[in-house]
Amino acid sequence: MREQATMKSKTSLRTLIAVPAAIAMATGAAVAAGGKTLEYKHNHWHFSGPFGAYDEEALQRGFQVYRTVCASCHAVEQLSFRNLGDVGGPFHLAECPAGVAEGTDCTKPSDNPVVKAIAAEYEVTDGPDDSGDMFKRKGLPSDRIPGPYANEQQARAANGGAYPPNLALIMKARHHGPDYVYSLLTGYEAAPETVVMGPTQHYNPYFAGDMTTLMKPEFLNEEGHPIEGVEVPPGGVLAMAPPLSDGVVDYADELVPETVDQYAKDVVEFLTWASEPKMEQRKSLGVVTMGYLLILTLILFFSYRTIWSKVEH
């Protein structure tokens, strides 16, 4: 009886060890079969860290890159024109520029003349009108920034079945969003010799995927693993062709380089702002809170000393 009990506990102990070991081996095998990306390029973003803030000019340039290049395929769904004029946004005004009617409050995004002008450059759908029809009109600050497609099906149909995701949330939706998107945009490479690619596939060592599936048969053994001396290329293939090239966007400031690297940094800054427009307020609240707690700690410490100093030993 006793023996049986010990045997039983031995078995369960073995299961306890064996199951996690099997899981670990299985996941280890999955990693070994490819699916790795290159380590992301690490950029020094001035918006990171507890005191980090967005750079207004970079945000403006980033919006320009988004609008000129990315907006033909990607929406920034949650964003309205007026957000561009919010405190900390790309086009916030502390005071009115010359020529604006007296009494206008340009700090208000809906009255901000830059925001109004940008909105008016877009055409939005409104309605229905009295006869029940939808109609087009010029954009207003209160409108959402319109995306390129009416719905997901249309977006997929235009992109060979792939869906260009909403860029307003992409920085939150991916690990290390800013470094990842920067690496992706600047990291396209020619396809490695060991793989065959379809006409709508673009190789990028930072995109998640498993390149084993695309390797030429001569580089694989019977089990479908790469032969000795051949490595599975890092990264994967995506349906987005490299969207940026040197010189595609004209910057007004001649001192700022018109390069893929600069465009990528600027658009990453803009999209990070789009995913968290209130970051600066959150951080300054954090700093105020820390200061408050520090002062409170000091007060408590000194009152403790004062109170106990009166106690006789």
Give the footprint of ligand HEC on this chain (CB under 6 A).
65, 69-70, 72-74, 159, 162-165, 167, 170, 174, 181, 184-185, 238-240, 243-244, 267
Q: At its nearest, how many Å lie between ligand HEC and the CB of residue 167? A: 6
Least distance in Å: CB of 292 to ligand HEC?
38
Report the residue number, 85 or 236, with the smaller CB distance to ligand HEC: 236
Q: Return the number of the residue (199 or 217) whose C-beta is nearest ligand HEC.
A: 199
Please report how close the Cβ of residue 268 comes to ligand HEC at its closest, in angstroms: 8
Residue number with CB closer to ligand HEC (113 or 242): 242
| 168 vs 170 by CB, closer to ligand HEC | 170
How far apart are CB 265 and ligand HEC at their closest, in Å? 11
- Residue 65 CB, nearest distance to ligand HEC (Å)? 6
Cα–Cα dist 182/47, whole Å = 14
Nearer to ligand HEC by Cβ, of 248 and 300: the residue is: 248
Q: How far apart are CA 100 and CA 132, in angstroms?
A: 37
* CB of 120 or CB of 122, closer to ligand HEC: 122
Closest approach, Cβ 271 to ligand HEC, in A, equals: 7
Half-sphere exposure of 91 (CA within 13 A, CB side): 26
